[in-house]
Amino acid sequence: MRDLRSHRLMILKALLFVLLGGIAAGILLWDAPTLKTAALLAIAIWAFARAYYFAFYVIERYIDPGFRFSGLFAAWRFLMTRRRS
């Protein structure tokens, strides 16, 4: 997969992710409108965002600082092919 280079497409992609997450969160809160649901949803979103950030931090610092990965799958594929060599 080639890198996304268009700034407009990157912004569109980010907006679509935010829209998708907002719709999913809205449906979940509509289905179970409690403070507990809202708090657990906020904690889950925060935790997954931190885990994703941490994964890229580890990739950048420890796997291969000179290589640019397009995502977690690309890093996983890089590690699998490197182990076979």
pTM above 0.75, yes or no: no
Is 70:1 a contact under the CB 8 Å cutoff? Answer: yes
Residue 60 lies in a domain: yes
- The whole-number pLDDT of residue 12 equals 93
**Number of domains within the chain:** 1
Residue 43 lies in a domain: yes
Residue 2 has pLDDT above 90, yes or no: no
- The whole-number pLDDT of residue 85 equals 63
Residue 2 lies in a domain: no
CA separation for the pair 57, 54 (Å, rounded): 5
pLDDT tens for 9-59 read: 888 988 999 999 999 999 999 999 999 999 999 999 999 999 988 888 887
Residue 1 lies in a domain: no
Residue 15 lies in a domain: yes
Strand, coil or helix: 76: helix
Residue 13 lies in a domain: yes
Q: Which domain holds residue 18?
A: 7-84
